Structure 1
Amino acid sequence: MGTIFAIGGGEIGNLETLDIDKKIVESANKTKPKALFIPTASSEPQACIDSFNYVYGEKLGCSTDVLLLLEGKTSNEQARKQIMSTDIIYVGGGNTSMMLHVWETYGVDKSLKEAYKNGKILSGLSAGAICWFKSGHSDSQSFYTKDKWDYIRVEGINFIDAMICPHYNEDTREDDFNQKILEYDEIGLALDNNSAIEFKNNFYKIHKSDLKSKAYILYHLNGRVVKEELINTAEYKSVEELLNR
């Protein structure tokens, strides 16, 4: 199986997540790994592509490529070929629900499942973290209306059987995510900006690019939400023990 790095948030172009990005590249165990950027969720702006090329190309020494789906010039087979011919897949942030709908149209979700089975490194920030989980806490409604909107639960590809909340230390996400845990009775993982969780061969590890950032596990117990901080130790820990609450 592959490796997953889910990043809670941060500005990649400002090098806020650089220490985490280094770990992602190192996990490929290659001198010059291939890194594919999928910026669907942000509507594929050139600025995001340039930031990825700067960090993963110039700073971290990868050979970079980008998968563009919104222009209608990419076939399903071409999308699959790009996904299967890379070492690292990095999904950018933005509108999670829109992104997942587009992926389904192009069969990208199926290709990513194939990539995971073939040992590719799957990674991403915000929407690019949510997509790997059973479900996620999303602000997708805010992309359609700026005035009145609510956080929603979105269905992911479901490599990890949990609900994830990126940007946990922003706005009212903490309180709203707690309510989602009570409502859906799922195991929750919450990531502050500049923190990440790595899953590898049934083990996990917390990474941080800012020591003040935190990661948590939340679960429903006797009508209330229990929250426990996940510490970034040198050793990997059992995913089974993490999610068996």
Structure 2
Amino acid sequence: MNSNKPVYLLAGGRGSNDPSPIFRAVLNDMGKKSPTIAYVGAASGDNADFLGRMEAMLKQAGDCRLVHASLSAPNADVKKARDILQSADAVFVSGGDVERGMQVLEEKGILSIFPELYKQGKLFFGISAGSIMLAVEWVRWKDPDDDSTAELFPCLGIAPVICDTHGEPEWEELKAALKLKRVGSYGYGITSGTCLKVLPDGKVEALGGAVYKYARRKDEVQRQADLLPD
């Protein structure tokens, strides 16, 4: 029996809709009355203000406890962070800079624990850059002024998708990433205030509003029909 849980990829974004309904759905899926959530803030350098905002939003949505698995500092206690991740009911990867966040996790030698915990049945969710980190890969430029230097780099791969968050309406980075994928690949633009729910079988659902969908075709990236909430 597959014990894997859905992965929730929230967009966040300034001025977006109240995330409480989506966070409530996430909390309900944890299957516990008062779950403990491991907070991964590597993408923001473990910024305390960002942590405080995320904690307030989650507690507004329901009874839970957020525990900070801090990893960004040079002297970070990696064993403590690992123990927090292992003992929590769920893992929340927060926003900031995708590449920075992945670099921190790699430097601390902790990348492998995330897929292990997912296979054990732990629920994962992210917001903004954290959602992109939970996906398969993302795009960067060796030279920001030269589009030909675009390349993909690996992310955590918990959700078998490629996505961007609050990049509407053009989704330029998502399109650039898809141009580097094989023909037939799909990518999702998660608009501000919405969420892409990725089920264990790879199927996807939109929560809170429409999610853009794009396809890599032979010569271009084409917009497909939006994913709409049920």
Task: For 2:128, give the aligned amino acid.
Answer: S
Going from structure 1 to structure 2, the CA distance change for 1:52 and 1:9 (only over 3 Å counts) comes to closer
Please say if residues 138 and 177 of structure 2, whose CA atoms lie closer than 8 Å, have aligned partners that are also in contact: no
1:4 and 2:1 matched:
no
Aligned pair partner of 2:174 in 177, 183, 186 = 177
Q: C-alpha separation between the residues in 2 aligned to 1:149 and 1:94? A: 24
Q: C-alpha separation between the residues in 2 aligned to 1:36 and 1:45? A: 15
Q: C-alpha separation between the residues in 1 aligned to 2:220 and 2:167? A: 19
Please say if residues 166 and 191 of structure 2, whose CA atoms lie closer than 8 Å, have aligned partners that are also in contact: yes
Please say if residues 114 and 158 of structure 2, whose CA atoms lie closer than 8 Å, have aligned partners that are also in contact: no
1:223 and 2:226 matched:
no
Task: For 1:32, give the aligned amino acid.
Answer: S
Once the two structures are superposed, the pairs formed by residues 49-198 of structure 1 within 5 Å of their partners are 49-57=51-59, 59-137=61-139, 153-169=152-168, 173-185=170-182, 186-198=185-197
Q: C-alpha separation between the residues in 2 aligned to 1:73 and 1:176? A: 34
Q: C-alpha separation between the residues in 2 aligned to 1:129 and 1:15? A: 17
Q: C-alpha separation between the residues in 2 aligned to 1:95 and 1:72? A: 18
Q: C-alpha separation between the residues in 2 aligned to 1:49 and 1:175? A: 28
Question: Once the 2 structures are TM-superposed, how far is the Cα of residue 86 of structure 1 from its aligned partner?
Answer: 0.6
Q: C-alpha separation between the residues in 1 aligned to 2:193 and 2:146? A: 25
Task: For 1:190, give the aligned amino acid.
Answer: G
Question: Once the 2 structures are TM-superposed, how far is the Cα of residue 178 of structure 1 from its aligned partner?
Answer: 2.4
Specify every segment of 5 or more residues in structure 1 that has no aligned partner in the other structure, as ranges.
Answer: 143-147, 234-245
**Percent identity, aligned pairs only?**
16
Q: C-alpha separation between the residues in 2 aligned to 1:19 and 1:138? A: 33
1:201 corresponds in structure 2 to 200
Specify every segment of 5 or more residues in structure 2 that has no aligned partner in the other structure, as ranges.
Answer: none
Q: Alignment length, in residue pairs?
A: 221
Please say if residues 152 and 180 of structure 2, whose CA atoms lie closer than 8 Å, have aligned partners that are also in contact: no
Please say if residues 186 and 216 of structure 2, whose CA atoms lie closer than 8 Å, have aligned partners that are also in contact: yes
Question: Once the 2 structures are TM-superposed, how far is the Cα of residue 138 of structure 1 from its aligned partner?
Answer: 6.5
Task: For 2:155, give the aligned amino acid.
Answer: G
DSSP-derived class of the 1:6 partner: strand
Aligned Cα RMSD in Å? 2.8
Question: Once the 2 structures are TM-superposed, how far is the Cα of residue 5 of structure 1 from its aligned partner?
Answer: 0.6
Instruction: Give CA-to-partner distance per residue, 1:12-63, whole Å, 9 cap, x none.
Output: 9x87322211111111111101112111111122211211222223542102
2:31 corresponds in structure 1 to 29
Going from structure 1 to structure 2, the CA distance change for 1:224 and 1:134 (only over 3 Å counts) comes to same
Going from structure 1 to structure 2, the CA distance change for 1:118 and 1:71 (only over 3 Å counts) comes to same
Task: For 1:227, give the aligned amino acid.
Answer: R
Q: TM-score, normalised by structure 2?
A: 0.83
Going from structure 1 to structure 2, the CA distance change for 1:176 and 1:111 (only over 3 Å counts) comes to closer
DSSP-derived class of the 1:160 partner: coil
Q: C-alpha separation between the residues in 2 aligned to 1:159 and 1:72? A: 26
Task: For 1:111, give the aligned amino acid.
Answer: I
Please say if residues 89 and 122 of structure 1, whose CA atoms lie closer than 8 Å, have aligned partners that are also in contact: yes
Task: For 1:207, give the aligned amino acid.
Answer: L
- The structure whose residues are more often strand, as a share, is 1
Task: For 1:193, give the aligned amino acid.
Answer: S
